[in-house]
Amino acid sequence: MLRLLFFILIYVVGSGWCSAQTELQDELLKYDYQIYLPKPAKEIKELLFEKDCTPINGKLSEHQKSIIMKGYEKGAKVHVKVLYTDGTEDEFVRSPCFIDPVIL
């Protein structure tokens, strides 16, 4: 019985330490975020937080099929207006579930 309590104690302490390590790693890693586009883009016309229309610092990726955002607030919707290489223009809103982290 004493051994069982000992192993339970070790498990509880160990799992708490592991979650603290994960939280620390998340704080140390710097993330940018990206929005994938359906086709290559030529220019980002607008990139704003949907809630208050604050501009977001963003640029096109090298392959021009995603927008890399710096300073994105996790959990916020983003309003995008983009000009594609074929000359078409598109305006849309992306919810947080379509915005992915990029580890630098």
- Whether residue 14 is predicted with pLDDT greater than 80 in this model: the reply is no
Domain 31-103 CATH class label:
mainly beta
Listed by start position, the domains of the chain span 31-103
* Torsional sign, CA 66, 71, 73, 78: negative
pLDDT band at 31; cut points 50, 70, 90: confident
pLDDT band at 27; cut points 50, 70, 90: low
- Whether residue 26 is predicted with pLDDT greater than 60 in this model: the reply is no
Q: How far is CA 59 from the centre of its chain?
A: 14
Alpha carbons within 13 A on the beta-carbon side of 89: 6
Q: Which residue has the tokens 């104690």?
A: 9
- Whether residue 24 is predicted with pLDDT greater than 80 in this model: the reply is no
What pTM, to 2 d.p., does this model score? 0.70
Residue 69 CA to residue 60 CA, distance in Å, equals 9
Residue range 7-25: mean pLDDT, rounded: 57
